């Protein structure tokens, strides 16, 4: 399996990454996931299958060729030979048009089957005047197939919404761990510079050697922190790669030189827009209700009695488009059927009514639940953004203190303990800032997810 393909090639092909620093943005990353992940492609295939189902249901109205022959020959005598062929064309208005021809002969042919020597053709129709007049299984199936297609579009959006949310969470986690890793490297750089300075000063007699022991311990602690942050960053990177594919078949790896775009605070919009009515999960219930509505119409139709009527104009000319048809030559028929109690039909309709009521209640509950979660996420986002602003201020001030303390230490006016304490406070505050920045981005992603916008 080709796992060594570099994802950078794909980005370059779409005009991305012209800078010296190779950075992957969240927008480009989610676009690649949306276009190439197997789950996204399966969702697309589901839509295509729904389109095929519509075509399949329309096949119920395809013209049908009819034909049949029945013969009896005994001791060289043809008792009877009946042949009937033609075409039947169903229509969307519930009327079936037929063009048929009969060719019958025989010594003992039933008198009602006698036709002219050239045969007898007839053009007619069959219609339902009771049950099936306004709708029937075939017409309902087409309407439900169209609803199923719309449902498949909504399901695709829901699947993509969930997929891109998971992928986005992994990406933001990678951003956070990359920033924490770079912060740990920065802290290690402070410790290395100070350790080298102390060794030089100790060799000149300006500092006691015991300070180099403490600086060495701090150096090893910082190295341990870098290794841990490196592990976290590598694992987060692998989690991001898990969502990267080429056309859903070839897993991809990130270019080792590729890094995520830096974390910045994501600020919530001033106005919270209520878009729950257009959420894919809510619209799914709309289409489900539409499907049940067509089912209900069919159940109402089944309560009616069955009355089937057919009428056919006759002509002795074996030509279906002949103008020799006469209203004086015809045959017609009618059939009637109706259960006395209609218990099956009436209770079937009641079941559908209950399904509709339950679906409406579920839709209202879903809409309320999504709205509540949206409000909660917005509150968390507002708080996280405020905390990020305060964390940035705190980190900047601790950095100023750490820089000042290092200057005093170089001038011999401070101790190693104070310098380490200032740096630890700065590194802790900067780490907290990274966490809050990542949280604002996660809340932004969560709000897009809960409103269903990621799958659009």
Confidence of residue 6 (pLDDT cuts 50, 70, 90): very low
Residue 274 dihedral angles phi and psi, to the nearest 5°: -85, 100
Q: Which residue has tokens 């030559």? A: 329
Q: Are 195 and 216 in contact (CB under 8 A)?
A: yes
Residue 4, pLDDT above cutoff 60? no
Say if residue 439 is exposed, middle or buried (CB neighbours under 10 Å; 0-12, 13-18, 19+): buried
Q: Are 54 and 146 in contact (CB under 8 A)?
A: yes
In this prediction, residues 316-330 reach a mean pLDDT of 69
Q: Per-residue pLDDT tens for 263-290?
A: 999 988 866 766 677 888 899 999 999 9
Residue 322, pLDDT above cutoff 70? no
Q: Per-residue pLDDT tens for 167-179?
A: 999 999 999 999 9
- The DSSP string of 253-295 is B--TT-EEPPP---PPPSS----GGG-HHHHHHHHHHHHHHHH
Q: Per-residue pLDDT tens for 109-122?
A: 998 888 888 888 88
Residue 452, pLDDT above cutoff 50? yes
Alpha helices of 338-415 — where are they, by DSSP H? 343-410
Confidence of residue 318 (pLDDT cuts 50, 70, 90): low
- Residue 253 Ramachandran class (φ > 0 left, ψ -120 to 50 alpha, else beta): beta
- Give me the chain's average pLDDT, please: 88
The two beta strands, 259-260 and 23-24, are: parallel
- The DSSP string of 393-415 is HHHHHHHHHHHHHHHHHHTTSS-
What pairs with residue 334 in β-bridges?
A: 309
In this prediction, residues 231-254 reach a mean pLDDT of 92
Confidence of residue 9 (pLDDT cuts 50, 70, 90): very low
Instruction: Return the C-alpha torsion angle 71, 75, 76, 79, nearest 10.
Output: -40
| Model pLDDT, residue 390 | 96
Q: How far apart are CA 386 and CA 443, in angstroms?
A: 13
In this prediction, residues 219-224 reach a mean pLDDT of 94
| Model pLDDT, residue 92 | 86
Helix axes 137-204, 209-241, angle to 10 degrees: 160
């Amino acid at each position: 399996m080709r796992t060594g393909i570099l994802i950078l090639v794909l980005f370059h092909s779409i005009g991305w990454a012209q800078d010296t620093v190779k950075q992957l943005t969240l927008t480009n990353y989610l676009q690649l996931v949306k276009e190439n992940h197997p789950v996204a492609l399966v969702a697309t295939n589901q839509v295509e299958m729904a389109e095929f189902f519509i075509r399949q249901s329309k096949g119920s109205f395809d013209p049908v060729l009819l034909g049949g022959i029945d013969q009896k020959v005994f001791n060289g005598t043809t008792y009877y030979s009946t042949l009937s062929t033609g075409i039947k064309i169903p229509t969307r208005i519930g009327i079936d048009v037929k063009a048929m021809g009969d060719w019958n002969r025989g010594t003992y042919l039933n008198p009602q089957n006698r036709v002219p020597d050239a045969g007898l053709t007839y053009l007619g129709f069959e219609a339902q005047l009771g049950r099936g007049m306004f709708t029937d299984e075939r017409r309902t199936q087409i309407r439900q197939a169209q609803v199923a297609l719309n449902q498949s579009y909504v399901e695709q959006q829901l699947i993509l919404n969930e997929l891109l949310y998971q992928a986005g969470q992994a990406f933001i986690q990678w951003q956070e761990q990359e920033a924490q890793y770079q912060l740990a490297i920065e802290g290690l750089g402070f410790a290395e510079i100070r350790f080298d300075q102390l060794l030089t000063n100790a060799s000149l007699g300006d500092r006691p050697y015991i300070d180099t022991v403490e600086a060495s311990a701090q150096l090893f602690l910082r190295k341990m922190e870098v290794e841990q942050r490196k592990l976290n960053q590598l694992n987060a990177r692998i989690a991001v790669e898990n969502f990267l594919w080429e056309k859903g078949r070839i897993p991809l790896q990130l270019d080792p030189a590729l890094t995520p775009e830096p974390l910045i605070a994501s600020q919530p919009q001033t106005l919270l827009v209520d878009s729950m009515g257009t959420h894919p999960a809510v619209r799914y219930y709309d289409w489900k209700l539409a499907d049940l509505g067509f089912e209900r119409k069919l159940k109402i139709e089944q309560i009616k009695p069955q009355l089937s009527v057919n009428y056919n104009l006759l002509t002795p000319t074996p030509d279906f488009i002949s103008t020799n048809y006469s209203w004086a030559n015809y045959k017609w028929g009618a059939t009637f059927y109706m259960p006395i109690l209609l218990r099956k039909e009436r209770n079937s309709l009641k079941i559908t009514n209950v399904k509709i009521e339950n679906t409406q209640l579920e839709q209202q509950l879903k809409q309320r639940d999504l709205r509540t979660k949206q409000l909660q996420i917005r509150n968390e986002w507002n708080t996280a953004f405020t905390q990020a602003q305060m964390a940035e201020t705190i980190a900047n001030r601790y950095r100023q203190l750490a820089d000042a303390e290092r200057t005093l230490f170089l001038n011999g006016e401070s101790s190693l303990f104070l310098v380490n304490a200032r740096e630890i406070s700065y590194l802790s505050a900067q780490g907290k800032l990274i966490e809050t920045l990542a949280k604002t981005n996660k809340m932004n992603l969560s709000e897009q997810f809960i409103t269903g916008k990621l799958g659009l």
